[in-house]
Copies of this chain bind each other. A is one copy, B any other.
Amino acid sequence: MKQSKLFTKTKKEIPADEVSKNAELLIRGGFIHKEMAGVYSYLPLGLRVLKKIENIIREEMNKVGGQEILMSSMQPKENWEKTGRWNDLDVLYKVADSAGREVALGPTHEEIVVPILKNYVNSYKDFPLALYQIQNKFRMELRSKSGILRGREFIMKDMYSFHTSTADFEKFYEQMKEVYKTIFTRVGIGHITYLTFASGGTFAKYSHEFQTITAAGEDTIYVDESSGTALNKEVFNDEVLTQLNLKKEDLVEQRAIEVGNIFDLKSKYSKPFDLSYMDEKGVKHDVLMGCYGIGLGRLMGTVVEALADDKGMIWPHAIAPYSVHLLSLGEDENILKEANKVYESLLKNNIEVLFDDRVGVSPGEKFADADLLGIPLRVVVSKRSLDEKGVEVKKRSEEKGKIVSLNELISLLEPKS
């Protein structure tokens, strides 16, 4: 993509009410546009990041046998009344049509996925099953000051698993812990993300969440580096420490953002809809359920919060909008010609490249924009690089660059297939 054709431009100003680092950088970089508190549109660079996160998550969900579906945002009131959440869930948006008939705008999809499944299963032979979607959610958040970390409208991957025994559920649940670790590692925050024990919700002694360490985190966690686990402050007490075999002196307090969670739902949502199955002997039982969420925007925002420096964003390669940011410096015809040649070579080798081909923009501005946009590798064609018969390559995460030949550059870059 030629930057001269990209409709967004970097900006110096941000909306006055925007206080979070992720929103500030993403808006200044032209990745997102704020529509109102907690509601953002994704612009080309931001959508590219979002889609890469989406594809990583989809691949991992498919690997564990997840079947992808796409459920509706508009949801029947009756379903929500059945579970008691029509009145009890304070974040639920309700919409009426002109005749006054109300529907819910889905903040989560237990009330939809269970009735869907009820159409297709009845025997123990139909289980286990895992369904997931990557879909837009609506939640009436009163405070929406965290940029894309906490939205009123946001894209989420929600998986629901269905089982005939606790043992089978637990096996899948353990598998999902590993899948989540893989996802956060692939996205580039595995080294600062911890499986964290949190308060148990309705049934279990604890629930499990994944927390990424960053100064802007809303949560406080206590990390045990040696085991790679952590405790949410809400369950940080002597009894729990003893149960989990953790020692207070090994734990380090950190601020963190919850980037994923997994829940044991037991029969909480299968019961109200009578989602059941017949066992080998023809005896009816409730189906057991788990659910597993990751907010895609929240994950993207967390990467910004955790990895950015004072100059701008730093994207891990796997979710960067482009792999290479190519800059032509100076308006000399030979420079532009050489830069175009490099651009064409990279495209031919299936390397995703943003080419800052803009004329009338100073080298200082181009460098500042490259730092802000945070594409992992910067490649500069300038008078100096021409003199040295190469291009100047610098990682966004490092201070110093070096001159390499075009062939070396291409062999450096494993194309993303």
**A interface residues (Cβ-Cβ under 8 A, vs B):** 5-9, 11, 30, 33, 35-36, 39-44, 47, 50, 65, 67-76, 90, 93-95, 97-98, 103, 105, 112, 116-117, 119-121, 126, 129, 131, 136, 138, 140, 142, 152-153
**What distance in Å separates the Cβ of A58 from its nearest Cβ neighbour in chain B?**
11
Whether the Cβ atoms of A41 and B116 lie closer than 8 Å is: yes
B68, A33: Cβ atoms under 8 Å? no
Across the interface, A120 reaches (CB within 8 A) one of B9, B69, B70, B94, namely: B9
Q: Which B-chain residue is minimally distant from A68 (CB atoms)?
A: B47
User: Smallest Cβ distance from A137 to chain B, in angstroms?
Assistant: 10
Whether the pair B36, A103 counts as a contact (CB closer than 8 A) is: yes
User: In whole angstroms, how far apart are the Cα atoms of A40 and B8 in the complex?
Assistant: 35
Task: Report B-chain residues with C-beta under 8 Å of the C-beta of A7.
Answer: 67, 117, 120-121, 126, 129, 131
> Closest B-chain residue to A127, C-beta based?
B7
Task: State A95–B93 Cα separation when bound (angstroms).
Answer: 7
Closest 10 CB pairs of A and B: A42-B70, A41-B71, A39-B74, A39-B72, A35-B72, A74-B153, A44-B67, A33-B116, A95-B95, A41-B72
CA distance A126 to B3 in the complex (A): 12
Q: Which of chain B's residues has its CB closest to A50's CB? A: B70
Residues of B within 8 A of A9 (CB): 120
Is the Cβ of A35 less than 8 Å from the Cβ of B70? no
A188 CB, nearest partner CB in chain B, Å: 22
Which of A68, A72, A152 has the most chain B CB atoms inside 10 A of its CB? A72
